[in-house]
Structure formats: structure tokens, C-alpha cells
Amino acid sequence: MSKEITITADNFDSEVINSSVPVLLDFWAAWCGPCRMIAPFVEQIADEYDGKLKVGKINVDEETELAVKHNVAAIPTLAVYKNGEQQLIQSGALPKNQIESLVKQYL
């Protein structure tokens, strides 16, 4: 079972801003080929880092305001939050090892 959480405008503050662990956000859409390509990597990271890292998925078609608020201009976009603040944002499909290296520095 995946450890990923669906993030919405309603739970963003409680799940991301107030999280006691770093958060990896995956901004995606169902029609996005590169998003589907990295989805298994994001899911594996969620499982492997359970308890140390929270992984949230934001569907940009359903949560347009969140995407705009976070300056997401292309998808997939990954963002890392720690202590309630955005630490980095990275657009484009990345291999699993590069996604891991993005988050490891914040664990």
C-alpha cells in the first residue's frame, strides 16, 4: 500500500506546513506522460522513507490554485518542504536516484 497522501487546498497547511518531517510534493496530472513515468519512483520513495519523509501528490487539474500559488509552470514538478518552508522546486521527469538526492539533503 502506498504511503503517498493526496494534498488539497483544505489539508495543505496540516499535511505540509505543519508537518514534523520533510515533505516531498509531486505536482502532476493524469494526462501527463512524464508524470506517469516518475509516479512509480515517487511511490517507492514514499514507501522507503516512511516515517522520515512525507510524500504528497497534488493533481494540478483539481488543485489549480495550489499549482498557481507555488509557481508550477510545468509538470511534473517536485517540491520539498521542511519546517513549513519550501526548500526547492524542480520541474521535469527525473530518475529515482536524482529524486532521492533532492530529498536526502533535507532528511
Q: pLDDT tens digits, residue range 32-79?
A: 999 999 999 999 999 999 999 999 999 999 999 999 999 999 999 999
Q: Write down the pLDDT at residue 24.
A: 97
Selected catalytic residue, list 16, 23, 32, 42: 32
List of residues 6+ apart from 69 with CB closer than 8 A: none
Residue closest to 45 by CA, chosen among 105, 4, 88, 89: 4
Does the active-site annotation cover 32?
A: yes
Domain of 23, in residue numbers: 5-104
- Looking at residue 25, its amino acid is L
Does the active-site annotation cover 35?
A: yes
Q: Write down the pLDDT at residue 55.
A: 97
Selected catalytic residue, list 7, 35, 75, 80: 35
Average pLDDT of the segment spanning 70-95 = 95
Model pTM?
0.95
Q: Write down the pLDDT at residue 58.
A: 98
Please tell me the total count of domains within the chain. Answer: 1
CA gap 77, 43 in Å, rounded:
15
What share of the chain has pLDDT > 70, as a percent?
98
Q: What is the CATH number of the domain that holds 27?
A: 3.40.30.10
Q: Write down the pLDDT at residue 2.
A: 63
User: Is it the case that residue 94 has pLDDT exceeding 90?
Assistant: yes
